[in-house]
Amino acid sequence: MTADVDVLIVGAGPTGLTLGIDLARRGVDALVVERAAALFPGSRGKGLQPRTMEVFDDLGVLDAIRAAGGTYPAGMIWQDGRRVGEHRMFDPAEPTEDSPYNEPWMVPQWRTQEILAARLEELGGRVVFGREAVGVEQDGDGVTVRFGDGGVLRARYAVAADGGRSAVRHALGIGMTGETVDPGPMLVADVRITGLDRDNWHVFPPRGDGEDFMAICPLAGTEDFQLVARFPEGSTPDLTLDGVRKLVAARSHLAPEDVTEVRWASDFRPRAALADAFRAGRVFLAGDAAHVHSPAGGQGLNTSVQDAYNLGWKLGAVLRDGAPAALLDTYEEERRANAAAMLGLSTSVHRGETRRGEATRQLGLHYRDASLTEETRAEPGPVRAGDRAPDATVDGVRLFDAFRGPHWTLLALGTRAPEGVAETVRVVRGAAPAFYGAGLFLVRPDGYVGWAGETGAGLTEYLARVGRH
C-alpha cells in the first residue's frame, strides 16, 4: 500500500504547526490534520521563553512574533481596592551576546498559532481542518490513520500532536503516568474589562472564606486581559459572562459590569504527567500528547515547540537524506528526559518552591549525556558537545544568522576546519569567543552541538550517522 504522505501530523496546535513548518522547509511531504474547524481561539500559553524565541528565529517567524507581543508587565498586588505593592513574576535578565532574547515574550497562544499557520502556508504546507483522527494501525512500511468522517490516510510516519487527551496516544495504548498538581480547578478566560490599567499584571490575593486568588493580565498586542482564577476543590467554575462577572466582583474592587465581554473561557485541573513512551513504531508523540504540565512555569507550549523542533530534522534526515532509521530513536531519548525535568520544574513553580528565572528560560537545556552527542576533546572548554550553541559574532558573522535554515553548521573556532567538509555543512571560521573556547563544533539543525573535537578525526563518521554524507 503506497503512502499518501510521508508524515501525517495529527493536531494543528503549536506542536503540529511547528513540525509542519520544519518539515515543509526540508521539502518533506507532510500534512497537518485538525479536528476543529479553525485554529484554537484562546490565549492560554502566552509566555514564550527565550529558547523558544531562538527556535522561532530559525523558523523565520521571529519578526512577526515580536511585532505581535510585548514584555510582561510588573505584577501589582491589590487589597480592598488599593494597590499594596509590586511583585516581579520572574528575575530580570539582560540580553547578552550569547543569549540575545532575555525575558519571556508575551503573545497570546491564538496569535502565535496564527503566525505559525501563516508561515506554514508560506512554505507550501497544509492544514486540513475538520478531520478527527479516531484510529491508528501500523505495519512495517507505514501507518494508517482513520478519521471520524470514515476517511483513511496512509503515511510513512505519523505524529500525535493532538494535545493532552491525545486520541492517537490512546489508540496506541501508551499510558500516561503522573499526578494532579492541584485538586482545585482553575479558570482561564480572555476578557474585556474596564477599570484596570494595562501597565500591570493585577493580582488579587485571597481575602476570606472559600475564596482563592485571581490574576488579570493585559494581553500584549490586544485589548484583552487573561483572567486566571483558582477555585476550591470540588467546585465547578462558571464560564459564562454572568459567572465571570460575579467572580470578578467577589474577588476585587471592580463592579460586575466592568467585565464587558468574555471572548474565550475554559477550566482545567493542573496535572503533571508524562507518556510512558514517546514512540510506538512509526508513530511519535509530541507536545501535550506526550507531557502535560502545570501552566505555572510557562513551560508547556515551549517544551512542545521544542519537541517538534527536535523531531523535524531527524524525520527530514531519514526521509530525505538517507540517514539510518536509528536516528529516530534519539527523539524519545532526548525529549522524554527533558520533559521529565520540565514537569518537575513546572510543579515546583506551581507550588511556590521555585521562582521563574534561569531554569524556566530553557537556555541551559542540554543533551550532553545523549547517545547522539560526541565530545572527542580530552579537555572541553565552556561549550561542550550536547550544549545549546550560543549566539556570538565570529569574524563579522552572527552565528544565529549562520545557523538559520535546515542545515548543519561547523564552527572552526581558533582552529582549522578539515578539508572538504564545506560540501555537506556550512562552515564558519574565526577566533574563538571566550564563552565558547577553541575547537571544532558541529551544530545540529536544532541548534545543539552534536559533535566537538580538536581535529576533524571522527567527524566524517559522525556525519554519516546523521545522513550528511
What's the one-letter identity of residue 294?
Answer: S
Q: How far apart are CA 429 and CA 210, in angstroms?
A: 63
Stretch that binds ligand FAD, among 30-38, 84-92, 325-333, 422-430 (CB under 6 A): 30-38
Asked whether position 273 contacts ligand FAD by CB under 6 A, the answer is: no
CA dihedral sign of residues 342, 108, 7, 36 = positive
Of the candidates 231, 232, 222, the residue with the CA atom closest to the CA atom of residue 107:
222
Q: Output the smallest distance, CB 160 to ligand FAD, in A.
A: 9
Asked whether position 299 contacts ligand FAD by CB under 6 A, the answer is: yes
Q: Output the smallest distance, CB 35 to ligand FAD, in A.
A: 3
Of the candidates 427, 222, 403, the residue with the CA atom closest to the CA atom of residue 309:
403
Stretch that binds ligand FAD, among 91-99, 196-204, 295-303, 366-374 (CB under 6 A): 295-303
Q: How far apart are CA 297 and CA 450, in angstroms?
A: 28
Asked whether position 104 contacts ligand FAD by CB under 6 A, the answer is: no
Asked whether position 365 contacts ligand FAD by CB under 6 A, the answer is: no
What mask of x and - would describe binding to ligand FAD in positions 62 to 91, judged by CB under 6 A? ------------------------------
What's the one-letter identity of residue 413?
Answer: L
Which of 7, 9, 15, 446 binds ligand FAD (CB under 6 A)? It is 15
Asked whether position 311 contacts ligand FAD by CB under 6 A, the answer is: no
Residue 259: phi and psi, rounded to 5, are -85, 110
Q: Output the smallest distance, CB 221 to ligand FAD, in A.
A: 16
What's the one-letter identity of residue 12?
Answer: A
What's the one-letter identity of residue 67?
Answer: A
Stretch that binds ligand FAD, among 64-72, 160-168, 244-252, 404-412 (CB under 6 A): 160-168
Q: Output the smallest distance, CB 327 to ligand FAD, in A.
A: 23
Q: 163 or 437: whose CB is closer to ligand FAD?
A: 163
Which of 188, 323, 411, 442 binds ligand FAD (CB under 6 A)? It is 188
Q: Output the smallest distance, CB 11 to ligand FAD, in A.
A: 3
Outline where 60-150 has alpha helix (H): 62-68, 109-122
Asked whether position 3 contacts ligand FAD by CB under 6 A, the answer is: no
User: Which DSSP string corresponds to 418-462?
Assistant: PTTGGGTSEEEEEPPPTTT-SEEEEE-TTSBEEEEESSSTTHHHH
Q: 109 or 424: whose CB is closer to ligand FAD?
A: 109
Rule CB under 6 A: which of 113-142 touch ligand FAD? 132-133
What's the one-letter identity of residue 267?
Answer: D
The owner of cell 499584571 is: 201
User: Which DSSP string corresponds to 74-108?
Assistant: EEEEEETTEEEEEE-SB------SS----S-EE--
Q: Find out whether 45 and 268 touch, Cβ atoms under 8 Å.
A: no
Asked whether position 302 contacts ligand FAD by CB under 6 A, the answer is: yes
Q: 37 or 434: whose CB is closer to ligand FAD?
A: 37
Residue 444: which region, alpha, beta or left (left: phi > 0; alpha: psi -120 to 50)? Answer: beta
Q: How far apart are CA 285 and CA 368, in angstroms?
A: 23
Q: How many Å is the Cα radius of gyration of the chain?
A: 23
Which of 19, 24, 30, 34 binds ligand FAD (CB under 6 A)? It is 34
Stretch that binds ligand FAD, among 89-97, 115-123, 292-300, 403-411 (CB under 6 A): 292-300
Asked whether position 44 contacts ligand FAD by CB under 6 A, the answer is: yes
Q: How far apart are CA 289 and CA 311, in angstroms?
A: 14
Q: How far apart are CA 251 and CA 442, in angstroms?
A: 55
Which of 126, 221, 238, 268 binds ligand FAD (CB under 6 A)? It is 268
Which of 24, 161, 229, 410 binds ligand FAD (CB under 6 A)? It is 161
Stretch that binds ligand FAD, among 13-21, 317-325, 364-372, 430-438 (CB under 6 A): 13-21
Q: 297 or 380: whose CB is closer to ligand FAD?
A: 297
Give CA 424 to chain center in angstroms. Answer: 29
Stretch that binds ligand FAD, among 8-16, 195-203, 238-246, 251-259 (CB under 6 A): 8-16
Which of 20, 218, 300, 437 binds ligand FAD (CB under 6 A)? It is 300
Greatest pairwise CA separation for the chain in angstroms? 73
Q: Find out whether 271 and 177 touch, Cβ atoms under 8 Å.
A: no
Residues within the interface to ligand FAD (CB under 6 A): 10-16, 33-36, 40, 44-47, 109, 132-133, 161-163, 167, 188, 266, 268, 287-288, 295, 298-302, 304
